[in-house]
């Protein structure tokens, strides 16, 4: 007997970042993460690009949970209302690329209680980003 999941009421999740330094931030995400643009919008109304970031999920935390995650990753409460968490296959390689493209290291890698390896950065505009590599290496 085959079971099928009903379709999700949300088809795609997008986050839109607005910056005064478009080229700098675009380069950070393109070159720093090694991404190719999925779409580049015409410049007649301003610059924009769309990056395929893989599977998307939305985490909703209360303040206590946000504090718990910050304590694990950084040792103190530091993140704002929004923080990216990006799973990467090679944490060391991703760290090197991001640092070479303007990331600020907030805290060096830690092993989480669930076994993942996490590191915290800020992008050039100050957005906090957790990079993580799952304990199984994927």
DSSP assignment letter at 135: T
- Convert 84-97 into a string of H (helix), E (strand) and C (coil): EEEECCCHHHHHHH
Q: What is the pLDDT of residues 54-100, one digit of tens each?
A: 999 999 999 999 999 999 999 999 999 999 999 999 999 999 999 99
How many other CB atoms are there within 10 angstroms of residue 48's CB atom? 15
- Give the global pTM: 0.86
Give me the half-sphere count of Cα atoms (radius 13 Å) on the Cβ side of residue 97: 16
* % of the chain beyond a pLDDT of 90: 83
Q: How confident is the model at residue 7 (pLDDT cuts 50, 70, 90)?
A: confident
Residue 137 pLDDT: 62
Q: Does the structure show a pLDDT above 70 at 130?
A: yes
Q: How confident is the model at residue 5 (pLDDT cuts 50, 70, 90)?
A: confident
Q: Does the structure show a pLDDT above 70 at 2?
A: no
CATH T-level topology, domain 22-133:
2,3-Dihydroxybiphenyl 1,2-Dioxygenase; domain 1 (3.10.180)
121 close to 105: Cβ distance less than 8 angstroms: yes
Residue 128 pLDDT: 96
Of 10-24, 38-52, 110-124, which one has max mean pLDDT? Answer: 110-124
Q: Does the structure show a pLDDT above 70 at 1?
A: no
The CA distance from 87 to 136, in Å, is 12
Residue 138 pLDDT: 60
Q: Where are the domains of the chain?
A: 22-133
């Amino acid at each position: 007997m085959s079971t099928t999941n009903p379709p999700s009421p949300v088809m795609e999740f997008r986050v839109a970042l607005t910056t005064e330094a478009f080229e700098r931030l675009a380069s950070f995400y393109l070159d720093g993460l090694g991404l190719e643009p999925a779409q580049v919008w015409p410049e007649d109304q301003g610059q924009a690009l769309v990056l395929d970031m893989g599977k998307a999920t939305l985490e909703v935390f209360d303040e206590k949970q946000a504090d718990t995650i910050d304590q694990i990753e950084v040792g103190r409460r530091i993140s704002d209302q929004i923080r990216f968490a990006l799973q990467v296959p090679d944490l060391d390689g991703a760290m090197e690329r991001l640092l070479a493209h303007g990331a600020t290291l907030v805290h060096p890698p830690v092993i989480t209680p669930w076994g993942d390896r996490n590191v915290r950065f800020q992008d050039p505009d100050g957005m906090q980003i957790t990079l993580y590599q799952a304990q199984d290496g994927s």
